[in-house]
Amino acid sequence: MIGAIAGDIIGSIYEFNNHRSTEFPLFSPESFFTDDTILTVALADSILNKAPYGKKIKEYYGRYPDAGYGSRFKSWAESDLRAKRSLNMSGRTITL
């Protein structure tokens, strides 16, 4: 898991800017974790705590909504939030 996270951070600055050389800094001030790290940690949390995968993934998405997820994933991850907002439009707070 540490290797996956390190690889994600190291590769983050090259994700949309292909780099063919084998000479590059492993970490730079511009390096950052991406949605890959967040979803890896969410899945590990789910397994270790015997929690439903989808629930944990949506929970972590809610903590880090701007980590570079694809549009279809975001739509799925926000589906419960949209349902909660529509229930709250009646003027009463409903906790699900």
Locus of tokens 């600055």: 13
Place of tokens 């590769």: 11
d(CA 65, CA 76) in angstroms, rounded, equals: 12
Evaluate the CA torsion angle 18, 24, 30, 32 in order and state its sign.
Answer: positive
The answer to whether 31 and 9 have CB atoms below 8 angstroms apart is yes
pTM: 0.75
Q: How does pLDDT run across 12-67, given as a tens digit for each residue?
A: 888 777 777 778 778 889 899 999 999 999 999 999 999 999 999 999 999 999 99
